[in-house]
């Protein structure tokens, strides 16, 4: 029960709007929209999953899960935009052991790098014709190709990025601290 | 196996062809050193081959200081070491620049400065010269001399011996497996062109790419390229060189249509269009961005629009037949570069854009691949725009025109070695025609 309203479908949108507004006011509208864009992939996954499991779409539930996801994920971008990795290391100095602080830094650092790589992978897919240049030109065949030409390289990239960054810190002797 | 690679006060050059195992050797040497010298921090440090994925901090200054801050080195000491490292690698003016905005060469310098600030006992540098322009290479040479004077062990990998460090008295050379490189078969280029999926346009044709008073830059930032006039005739190879951060990669992305046009005109194959370049293959600086997790043969087959048997010839012509069944992601950097070039050619493009696509290729592989590309250009009318920070003699011989980009603002023609084809020329504002 928040503000006398029990239904999450009512207060979650309000909370989401509040967070989005706060984010846009501090980080700027452009970065807010750019950060939110990669998170929208969860929507089709959610809809397809619900269709497979329940053979129907409960829009109220979709909205609730979707907003919960956005509310959980968005602050990560916010924290990244507003706080440098070095500041984070210092900020949690008394709260977390060094290894956990590194994991936190990694989590924040990988997102923007992965987003930049996603743009490059999309550019390559567009140039090769595997993905259309304009959103309105998306056809079912593009969606069939997307896992192999976009999602798979992106997943591989995510693993490689984490691996390379961990190696980079190891290579500077930070695993020995 | 490798303790002799790192000797205090000496520079060891690990050289060998593409795929010889230089990176693995350096990583093993780092582990061996650390096992033999367990005390003290940081002890030995290593610079990886791909600078783009090794940066962890937001700004250049923070990146250089990051490990020192994490190690809780006193603040005054962090400031002293950071300032010194930034000065050594010419980064003082870029201290507050975001690392994301740096070009690959400046990212490499930032990482080198970060290692310099650590004042390690042993440094292992994997292909550090590959991304650096002349100024960066000179600064690295000076830094190596400084490290050696302090009694550090320095181990550097490279596919060829950099002229400057070869003159050092404390220089040793360690060659690895010279038989494991790429084996391109340029003799098959003719057979490969027979499988080309696109009809060759008549030669010489109109300009494939034409930029007039062109300005472009990244969204939300000022223009990186200003007042560019450029015309690339069909069926020619144009080389654009310039220092790290001069806007070479931005020029390629602008031609590909990935960046918003600030002002001026961009015309591709006679059409003025603000969208993506049609029938164009782009090879990015980081080859892993192109890979989809398949085997070498699978990557080429997935990209190929060639006629029957073309993908198999493509494997051989780019020297990849020996690795055909290997997972592409397990290849060396140079082998990945060759694979990505092969995949780009398998799409039968009309325009090929190459961003530092020859980095990591050893001399023999480079010669074979350049010969193949030249033959394909001659037979199919393909137009090539290649950018590099290091226009070596072999790459200059490959090009019909050579332009120099400085500060994203001007493009100047540079004379090519004698004997190049007349008529194939690119021209820029204020530049003379190269063939005259």
Is residue B419 scored above 80 in pLDDT? Answer: no
Q: Where does the pLDDT of residue B408 fall: very low under 50, low under 70, confident under 90, or very high at 90 and above? A: low
Gap between the Cα atoms of B82 and B274, Å rounded: 44
Given an 8 Å threshold on Cβ–Cβ distance, is A127 in contact with B292? no
pLDDT of residue B180: 64
**Do the beta carbons of residue B94 and residue B102 sit within 8 Å?**
yes
pLDDT of residue A144: 82
Of the partner residues B41, B220, B288, the one whose CB lies closest to the CB of residue A176: B41
Close Cβ partners of B147 (under 8 Å, ≥ 6 residues apart): B123, B154
Per-residue pLDDT of A70-90, as tens digits, reads: 888 777 777 777 777 778 777
A–B CB contacts, 8 A cutoff, strictly below: 123
Gap between the Cα atoms of B41 and A174, Å rounded: 9
- Please name the residue of chain A whose CA is at the shortest distance from the CA of residue B115: A172
pTM reported for the whole predicted model? 0.82
Per-residue pLDDT of B7-50, as tens digits, reads: 888 899 888 888 888 888 999 999 899 888 887 788 889 998 88
Residues on A contacting B at a C-beta cutoff of 8 Å: 30, 84-86, 89-90, 98, 102, 105-106, 109, 112-113, 116-117, 120-121, 123-124, 126-128, 133, 148-149, 152-153, 155-157, 160-161, 164-165, 167-169, 171-174, 176-177
Measured between beta carbons, which residues in chain B are less than 8 angstroms from residue A113?
53
CB atoms within 10 A of CB B69: 18
Given an 8 Å threshold on Cβ–Cβ distance, is B276 in contact with A124? no
Given an 8 Å threshold on Cβ–Cβ distance, is B289 in contact with A165? no
**Do the beta carbons of residue B15 and residue B159 sit within 8 Å?**
yes
CA A166 to chain centre: 20
Per-residue pLDDT of B275-317, as tens digits, reads: 888 889 999 988 989 998 899 999 999 999 988 888 999 999 9
- For range B354-381, the mean pLDDT: 90
Is residue B398 scored above 70 in pLDDT? Answer: yes
pLDDT of residue B314: 94
- Please name the residue of chain A whose CA is at the shortest distance from the CA of residue B44: A173
CB atoms within 10 A of CB B7: 15
Given an 8 Å threshold on Cβ–Cβ distance, is A157 in contact with B44? no
pLDDT of residue B153: 93
Per-residue pLDDT of B198-246, as tens digits, reads: 766 555 557 889 888 888 887 767 778 888 888 888 889 999 998 888 8
- For range B147-156, the mean pLDDT: 92
Gap between the Cα atoms of B264 and A22, Å rounded: 39
pLDDT of residue B201: 58
pLDDT of residue B96: 92
Tell me the ipTM for this assembly. 0.84
Buried b (16+ CB within 10 A) or exposed e, B365-386: bbbbbbbbbbbbbbbbbbbbbb
Gap between the Cα atoms of B115 and B271, Å rounded: 49
Per-residue pLDDT of B83-93, as tens digits, reads: 999 999 999 99
Given an 8 Å threshold on Cβ–Cβ distance, is A109 in contact with B56? yes
Q: For residue B292, what are its two tokens?
A: 């989809």
Q: Where does the pLDDT of residue B405 fall: very low under 50, low under 70, confident under 90, or very high at 90 and above? A: confident
Per-residue pLDDT of A129-177, as tens digits, reads: 888 887 788 888 888 878 888 888 888 888 888 888 888 888 888 887 7
Q: Where does the pLDDT of residue B343 fall: very low under 50, low under 70, confident under 90, or very high at 90 and above? A: very high
- Please name the residue of chain B whose CA is at the shortest distance from the CA of residue A132: B276
Taking Cα atoms as reference points, which of B228, B251, B218 lies closest to residue B354?
B251
Gap between the Cα atoms of B430 and B213, Å rounded: 12
Measured between beta carbons, which residues in chain B are less than 8 angstroms from residue A144?
none
Average pLDDT of every residue of chain A = 81
Rg of chain B, C-alpha, whole Å = 22
More confident residue, A67 or B169: A67
Q: Where does the pLDDT of residue B409 fall: very low under 50, low under 70, confident under 90, or very high at 90 and above? A: low
Q: Which of A80-94, B62-76, B185-199 has the highest mean pLDDT?
A: B62-76
pLDDT of residue B422: 40
Of the partner residues B45, B57, B303, the one whose CB lies closest to the CB of residue A173: B45
């Amino acid at each position: 029960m928040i503000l006398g309203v029990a239904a999450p479908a009512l207060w979650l949108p309000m909370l989401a709007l509040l967070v989005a507004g706060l984010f846009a006011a501090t980080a700027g509208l452009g970065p807010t929209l750019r950060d939110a864009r990669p998170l929208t992939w969860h929507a089709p996954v959610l809809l397809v999953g619900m269709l497979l499991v329940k053979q129907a779409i409960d829009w109220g539930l979709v909205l609730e899960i979707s907003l919960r996801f956005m509310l959980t994920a968005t602050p990560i971008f916010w924290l990244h935009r507003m706080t440098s990795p070095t500041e984070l290391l210092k900020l949690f100095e008394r709260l977390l052991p060094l290894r956990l602080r590194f994991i936190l830094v990694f989590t924040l650092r990988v997102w923007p790098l992965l987003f930049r790589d996603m743009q490059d992978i999309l550019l390559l897919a567009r140039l090769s014709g595997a993905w259309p240049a304009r959103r309105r030109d998306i056809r079912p065949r593009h969606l069939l190709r997307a896992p192999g030409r976009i999602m798979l390289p992106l997943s591989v990239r995510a693993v490689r990025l984490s691996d390379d960054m961990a190696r980079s810190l190891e290579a500077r002797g930070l695993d020995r601290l | 196996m490798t303790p002799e690679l790192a000797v205090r006060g000496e520079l060891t050059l690990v050289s060998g062809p593409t795929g010889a195992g230089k990176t693995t050797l350096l990583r093993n040497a780092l582990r061996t050193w650390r096992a033999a010298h367990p005390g003290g921090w940081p002890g030995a440090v290593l610079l990886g081959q791909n600078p783009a994925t090794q940066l962890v901090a937001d700004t250049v200054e923070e990146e250089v200081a990051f490990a020192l801050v994490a190690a809780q080195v006193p603040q005054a000491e962090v400031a002293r070491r950071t300032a010194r490292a930034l000065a050594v690698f010419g980064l003082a003016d870029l201290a507050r620049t975001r690392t994301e905005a740096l070009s690959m060469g400046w990212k490499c310098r930032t990482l080198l400065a970060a290692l310099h600030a650590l004042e390690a006992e042993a440094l292992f540098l994997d292909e550090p010269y590959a991304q650096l322009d002349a100024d960066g290479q000179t600064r690295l040479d000076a830094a190596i001399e400084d490290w050696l004077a302090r009694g550090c062990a320095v181990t550097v990998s490279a596919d060829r011996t950099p002229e400057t460090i070869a003159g050092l008295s404390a220089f040793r050379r360690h060659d690895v497996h010279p038989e494991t490189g790429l084996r391109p078969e340029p003799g098959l280029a003719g057979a490969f062109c027979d499988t080309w999926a696109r009809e060759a346009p008549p030669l010489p044709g109109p300009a494939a790419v034409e930029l007039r008073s062109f300005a472009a830059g990244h969204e939300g930032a000022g223009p990186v390229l200003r007042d560019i006039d450029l015309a690339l005739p069909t069926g020619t190879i144009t080389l654009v060189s310039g220092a790290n951060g001069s806007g070479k990669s931005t020029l390629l992305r602008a031609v590909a249509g990935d960046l918003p046009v600030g002002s001026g005109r961009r015309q591709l194959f006679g059409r003025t269009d603000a969208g993506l370049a049609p029938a164009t293959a782009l090879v990015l600086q980081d080859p892993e961005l192109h890979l989809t997790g398949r085997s070498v043969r699978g990557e080429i087959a997935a990209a190929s629009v060639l006629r029957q048997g073309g993908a198999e010839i493509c494997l051989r012509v780019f020297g990849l037949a020996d690795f055909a069944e290997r997972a592409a992601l397990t290849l060396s950097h140079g082998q990945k570069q060759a694979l990505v070039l092969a995949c780009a050619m398998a799409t039968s493009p009309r325009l090929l854009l190459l961003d530092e696509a020859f980095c990591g290729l050893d001399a023999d592989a480079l010669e074979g691949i350049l010969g193949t590309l030249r033959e394909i250009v001659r037979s199919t009318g393909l137009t090539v725009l290649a950018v590099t920070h290091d226009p070596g003699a072999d790459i200059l011989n490959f090009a019909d025109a050579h332009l120099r980009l400085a500060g994203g603002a001007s493009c100047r023609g540079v004379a090519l070695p004698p004997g190049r084809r007349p008529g194939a020329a690119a021209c820029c504002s204020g530049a003379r025609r190269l063939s005259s």
